[in-house]
Amino acid sequence: MATTRATFTLGQDLAEQAQRLQVNVSAAARQGVAAAVKRALAESDRAAYQRMPEEPDAFWDEAETWGNE
């Protein structure tokens, strides 16, 4: 997996707590960004669906019947 460097600021108190508790800040940041991206993608998908909801389509009814044989 290719990586990209990112710089961010962290409040002093939080940074000190992380250091005292031996929190891997890089790993925590990666996990936080990954979770935020996952949430944003889900919200984007939901908004797209709300703009253009699926409608019944006879084609798919026919296409899916092969599994009921």
Each residue of 6-62: pLDDT tens digit?
Answer: 999 999 999 999 999 999 999 999 999 999 999 999 999 999 999 998 888 877 777
pTM score, whole prediction: 0.68
Tokens of 48: 């797209």
Please answer whether residues 32 and 14 qualify as being in contact, where contact means their C-beta atoms are separated by less than 8 angstroms.
Answer: no
- What is the SS3 assignment for 64? helix
Q: Among candidates 1, 25, 24, 22, which has minimal Cα distance to 11?
A: 25
In 10 A of CB 18, how many CB atoms? 14
Q: What is the number of residues in the chain?
A: 69
pLDDT confidence tier of residue 63, bands split at 50, 70 and 90: confident
